[in-house]
C-alpha cells in the first residue's frame, strides 16, 4: 500500500510536471504549461478546461510535426503550395478541379493523375503542391525525377536489389514522377519503370508530369506496345490535366525585361 499523499509545494509540483512531460514525451505540454497555467488563472478555467487546452495543444503540435516529417520524407526539391499557384497566368487550369484534387480522394482510391504541358506552364508546381497536400493529409508520398528513378532501378537490378526497390516504391500512397518524357529510355529502363507502375496499379496512386502529349511518348518508350501499356496504366480511371503550351515563366521574364527597358 502506498502512504498518504502530501500536498506538494508549487515549485515541487512544477518540477514533477516538467519531469513527467519529459518521461512521457510531451514536449508541447512541457513548453506551454506555465503560460497555460497563467491563462487558466486569469480566465478562471475549470480543471477540465485547463487539461483540455494542454492536451489539444500537444495533439495539434504532434500532427504538425508528423506532417513536416512526411513532407521531408517525400523528397520534394523545393516547396510549392497549391495556394501559391497563379491561375490567372494559366487559364488551362481551373481552381475547382485543383481544389477537388486537394481533398486527396483520388489518392485514397489509388487513382492516377497526369499533368501534361510545356515547360513553364506549372506542371511541377501542381505536382509538388498536390503531393504536399497529400502528405499534409496523412498519406505517404515520394517525389522523384523519372530519369533518377530509372537509374536507381537499373543500379538495383545490377546489385540484385530490384525486387526490394520496386516494393519500396510500391508501398508509398502517392508516387510523384516528374519530367517523364524528357529523355529516351532504353527497353530495359522502360520495362523496369513499367514494373513499378504495375506494382502500384489500382492500389496506390501515381502522379506524373510530362512535357510530351501521350502521342509523343514513343520517343521516350521506343517499344510501341510497352508505351501503350504504360499510358494505359497511367490513365485508367485517372485525371488528365493539360497545362497548355504558353510558359508563364517566360512571359513573366519578358514582362520584367520590357519594364526595365522603358
pLDDT, tens digit, for every residue of 195-237?
Answer: 898 888 778 999 999 988 888 888 888 888 888 988 988 888 8
Residue with cell 503540435: 61
258 within some domain: no
Backbone angles phi, psi at 187, to 5 degrees: -60, -40
pLDDT exceeds 90 at position 40: no
Position 74 scores a pLDDT of 94
Same structural domain, 247 and 122: yes
Same structural domain, 166 and 48: no
Same structural domain, 135 and 217: yes
Same structural domain, 169 and 232: yes
Single residue among 71, 88, 106 that ends a domain in this structure:
71
Helix (H, G, I), strand (E, B) or coil at 215: helix
| CA 37 to each of CA 28, 49, 50, 85: distance values in angstroms, whole numbers, following the listed order | 14, 11, 8, 42
- Residue 146: which CATH number? 3.40.50.300
Of the pLDDT bands very low, low, confident and very high (cuts 50, 70, 90), residue 260 is low
pLDDT exceeds 70 at position 158: yes
Number of structural domains the chain divides into: 2
Is residue 173 within 8 A of residue 139, CB to CB? The reply is yes
Domain of 116? 75-251
> What percentage of the chain exceeds 90 in pLDDT?
38
From the CA atom positions of the chain, what is the Rg in Å? Answer: 25
| CA 202 to each of CA 112, 172, 215: distance values in angstroms, whole numbers, following the listed order | 8, 13, 23
Same structural domain, 140 and 241: yes
Nearest to 223 by CA among 194, 192, 190, 177: 190
d(CA 179, CA 189): 15
Same structural domain, 95 and 46: no
Strands 174-180 and 239-244, bridge-based pairing: unpaired
Amino acid at each position: 500500500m502506498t502512504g498518504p499523499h502530501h500536498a506538494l509545494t508549487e515549485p515541487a509540483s512544477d518540477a514533477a510536471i516538467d519531469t513527467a512531460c519529459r518521461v512521457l514525451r510531451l514536449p508541447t505540454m512541457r513548453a506551454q504549461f506555465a503560460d497555460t497555467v497563467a491563462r487558466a488563472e486569469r480566465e478562471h478555467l475549470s480543471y477540465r478546461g485547463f487539461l483540455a487546452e494542454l492536451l489539444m495543444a500537444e495533439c495539434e503540435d504532434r500532427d504538425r510535426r508528423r506532417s513536416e516529417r512526411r513532407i521531408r520524407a517525400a523528397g520534394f526539391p523545393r516547396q510549392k503550395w497549391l495556394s501559391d499557384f497563379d491561375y490567372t497566368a494559366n487559364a488551362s487550369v481551373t481552381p475547382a478541379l485543383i481544389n477537388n484534387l486537394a481533398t486527396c480522394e483520388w489518392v485514397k482510391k489509388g487513382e492516377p493523375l497526369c499533368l501534361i504541358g510545356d515547360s513553364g506552364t506549372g506542371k511541377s508546381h501542381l505536382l509538388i503542391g498536390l503531393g504536399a497536400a497529400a502528405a499534409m493529409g496523412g498519406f505517404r508520398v515520394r517525389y522523384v525525377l523519372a530519369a533518377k528513378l530509372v537509374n536507381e532501378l537499373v543500379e538495383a537490378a545490377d546489385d540484385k536489389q530490384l525486387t526490394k526497390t520496386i516494393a519500396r516504391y510500391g508501398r508509398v500512397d502517392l508516387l510523384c514522377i516528374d519530367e517523364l518524357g524528357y529523355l529516351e529510355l532504353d527497353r530495359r529502363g522502360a520495362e523496369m519503370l513499367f514494373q513499378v507502375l504495375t506494382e502500384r496499379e489500382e492500389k496506390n496512386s501515381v502522379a506524373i508530369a510530362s512535357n510530351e502529349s501521350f502521342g509523343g511518348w514513343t520517343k521516350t518508350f521506343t517499344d510501341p506496345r510497352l508505351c501503350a501499356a504504360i499510358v494505359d496504366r497511367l490513365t485508367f480511371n485517372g485525371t488528365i490535366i493539360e497545362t497548355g503550351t504558353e510558359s508563364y515563366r517566360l512571359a513573366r521574364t519578358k514582362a520584367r525585361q520590357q519594364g526595365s527597358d522603358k
